[in-house]
Amino acid sequence: MRNETKREPLFHITKRSVLPWYKAWGIRGGAIVLALIVCALITTLMTHQNPFEVFATIFKASFSTQRRTWVLFQNIAMLLSVSLAVVPAFRMRFWNLGAEGQMLVGGLATAACMICLRDVFPNWLVIVCMVISSIVAGAVWGVIPALFKAKWNTNETLFTLMMNYVAIQLVSYFIIVWEVPKGAGKIGIINQSSQIGWLPSIGGQKYLLNIIIVALLTVVMYIYLNYSKHGYEISVVGESERTAKYVGIEVNKVIIRTMILSGALCGLTGLLLVGGTDHTLTTSITGGRGFTAVMVAWLAKFNPIWMIATSFLLVFLERGAGDISTNFGLNQSFSDILSGIILFFIIGSEFFINYRVSFRHASKQEGKAHV
Amino acid sequence: MKKLIALIICLTLCLGAVAAMAAEPAKVKIGFIFLHDENSTYDLNFINGAKEACAKFGIEPILKTGIEETEACYEAAADLADSGCDIVFADSFGHEDYMIQAAKEYPNVQFCHATGTRAHTEGLSNYHNAFASIYEGRFLGGIAAGMKLNQLIAEGKITADQAKLGYIGAYTYAEVISGYTSFFLGARSVCPTATMEVTFTGSWYEPTLEKEGAAKLIANNCVVISEHADSMGAPSECENNNVPFVFYNGSAESACPNTYIVASRINWAPYFEYIINAVANGEAIPADWTGTIATESVLLTDLNENAAAPGTAEAIAEAKAKMEAGELKVFDTATFTVNGETLTSYLADVDSDAAYEKDTEVIADGYFHESEFRSAPYFDLQIDGITLLDTKF
Residue-wise pLDDT tens digits, A322-339: 888 888 877 778 888 888
pLDDT score recorded for residue A24 = 83
- Tally A–B CB contacts below 8 A: 76
Report the distance separating Cα A305 and Cα B83, nearest Å: 34
Q: Given a cut of 50, is residue B21 above it in pLDDT? A: no
Report the distance separating Cα B164 and Cα B202, nearest Å: 23
Q: State percent of chain B over pLDDT 70.
A: 92
The b-or-e profile of A96-128 (16+ CB within 10 A means b, else e) is bbbbbbbbbbbbbbbbbbbbebeeebebeebbe
Q: Does B382 touch chain A (CB under 8 A)?
A: no
Chain B interface test: which of A332, A335, A337, A339 (most B C-beta within 10 Å)? A332
pLDDT score recorded for residue A367 = 46
Instruction: Give phi and psi for B228, each to the nearest 5.
Output: -135, 75
Cα-Cα-Cα-Cα dihedral sign, residues B267, B272, B278, B284: positive
Q: Does B101 touch chain A (CB under 8 A)?
A: yes
CB contact under 8 A, A67 and B82: yes
Q: How many Å lie between the alpha carbon of A81 and the closest alpha carbon of chain B?
A: 18
Q: State percent of chain A over pLDDT 90.
A: 64
pLDDT score recorded for residue B344 = 92
Closest among B307, B295, B288 to B238, alpha carbons compared = B307
Annotated domain spans of chain B: 27-133+268-291, 134-265+299-388
Report the distance separating Cα A322 and Cα A335, nearest Å: 5
Read off the DSSP letter of residue A276.
I
Q: Given a cut of 70, is residue B18 above it in pLDDT? A: no
User: Which chain A residues have a beta carbon less than 8 Å from that of B357?
Assistant: none
pLDDT score recorded for residue A332 = 74
Closest among A363, A352, A351, A348 to A9, alpha carbons compared = A363
A293 inside domain: yes
Distances (CA, A) of A170 to A146, A174, A215: 21, 6, 31
Computed over every residue of chain B, the mean pLDDT equals 91
Q: Given a cut of 50, is residue A369 above it in pLDDT? A: no
Q: Does B70 touch chain A (CB under 8 A)?
A: yes
Better pLDDT: A202 or B129: B129
- Give the nearest partner residue to B70 out of A182, A285, A332, using CB atoms: A285
Q: How many Å lie between the alpha carbon of A140 and the closest alpha carbon of chain B?
A: 27
- Three-state secondary structure of chain B: CHHHHHHHHHHHHHHHHHHHHHHCCCCCCEEEECCCCCCCHHHHHHHHHHHHHHHHHCCCCEEECCCCCCHHHHHHHHHHHHCCCCEEEECCHHHHHHHHHHHHHCCCCEEEEECCCCHHHHCCCCEEEEEECHHHHHHHHHHHHHHHHHHHHHCCCCCHHHCEEEEEECCCCHHHHHHHHHHHHHHHHHCCCCEEEEEECCCCCCHHHHHHHHHHHHHCCCCEEEEECCCCHHHHHHHHHCCCEEEECCCCCCCCCCCEEEEEEECCHHHHHHHHHHHHCCCCCCCEEEECCCCCCEEECCCCCCCCCCCHHHHHHHHHHHHHCCCCCCCEHHHCCECCECCCCCEECCCCCCCCCCCEECEECCEECCCCCCCCCCCCCCCCCEEECCCCC
Residue-wise pLDDT tens digits, B311-355: 999 999 999 999 999 899 999 999 999 999 999 999 998 987 766
User: Which chain A residues have a beta carbon less than 8 Å from that of B94?
Assistant: 184-186, 188
Residues whose CB falls within 8 Å of the CB of residue A41, separated by 6 or more in sequence, listed in order? A51
Chain B interface test: which of A278, A281, A330, A336 (most B C-beta within 10 Å)? A278
Residues whose CB falls within 8 Å of the CB of residue B205, separated by 6 or more in sequence, listed in order? B35, B36, B40, B42, B229, B230, B231
pLDDT level of residue A370 (50, 70, 90 thresholds): very low
Q: State percent of chain B over pLDDT 90.
A: 81
Angle between helices A99-116 and A156-178 (to 10 degrees): 30
**What H or E segment, with its residue span, contains residue A22?**
helix A21-47
Total tally of structural domains belonging to chain A: 1
Distances (CA, A) of B247 to A55, B179, B251, B291, B300: 43, 12, 7, 20, 10
Region B134-265+299-388: CATH code: 3.40.50.2300
User: Which chain B residues have a beta carbon less than 8 Å from that of A176?
Assistant: 392-393
pLDDT score recorded for residue B294 = 86
Least confident of A48-57, B13-22, B104-113, B248-257: B13-22
Least confident of A273-282, A309-318, A355-364, B131-140: A355-364
Residue-wise pLDDT tens digits, B289-300: 999 998 899 999
A95 inside domain: yes
Residue A82 · residue A269 · CB < 8 Å: yes
Q: State percent of chain A over pLDDT 70.
A: 95
pLDDT score recorded for residue A4 = 56
CB contact under 8 A, B171 and A280: no
Instruction: Give phi and psi for B26, each to the nearest 5.
Output: -55, 140
Query: What is the pTM assigned to this prediction?
Result: 0.85
pLDDT score recorded for residue B9 = 56
pLDDT score recorded for residue B20 = 47
A199 inside domain: yes
User: Which chain B residues have a beta carbon less than 8 Å from that of A278?
Assistant: 70-71
- Complex-level ipTM: 0.84
Read off the DSSP letter of residue A205.
B
Residue A244, amino acid: A
B303: left (phi over 0), alpha (psi -120 to 50) or beta: beta
**Mean pLDDT, to the nearest integer, of A152-166?**
95
Domain carrying residue A267:
72-311
The interface residues of chain B toward chain A in range 181-240, judged by CB-CB distance below 8 A, are 202-203
pLDDT level of residue B6 (50, 70, 90 thresholds): low
Q: Given a cut of 80, is residue A365 above it in pLDDT? A: no
User: Which chain A residues have a beta carbon less than 8 Å from that of B83?
Assistant: 64-65
**Dihedral of the CA atoms A258, A264, A265, A267 (nearest 10)?**
150
For residue A312, how far is the Cα from the chain centroid?
Answer: 11
Least confident of A98-102, B25-29, B30-34: B25-29
Closest among B383, B390, B69, B39 to B212, alpha carbons compared = B390
| E strand intervals along chain A | 11-15, 355-359
Domains B27-133+268-291 and B134-265+299-388 share a fold: yes
Computed over every residue of chain A, the mean pLDDT equals 90
A328 inside domain: no
A178 inside domain: yes
Please, what CATH class does the domain formed by B27-133+268-291 belong to? alpha beta
Residue-wise pLDDT tens digits, A109-156: 999 999 999 999 999 999 999 999 999 999 999 999 999 999 999 999
A203 inside domain: yes
Provide the 3-class DSSP secondary structure of residue A12. Answer: strand
Residue B289 · residue B129 · CB < 8 Å: yes
- Give the nearest partner residue to B83 out of A65, A182, A282, using CB atoms: A65
Q: Given a cut of 80, is residue B2 above it in pLDDT? A: no
Report the distance separating Cα B366 and Cα B364, nearest Å: 5
A276 inside domain: yes
pLDDT level of residue B7 (50, 70, 90 thresholds): low
Report the distance separating Cα B300 and Cα B302, nearest Å: 7
**Mean pLDDT, to the nearest integer, of B219-244?**
94
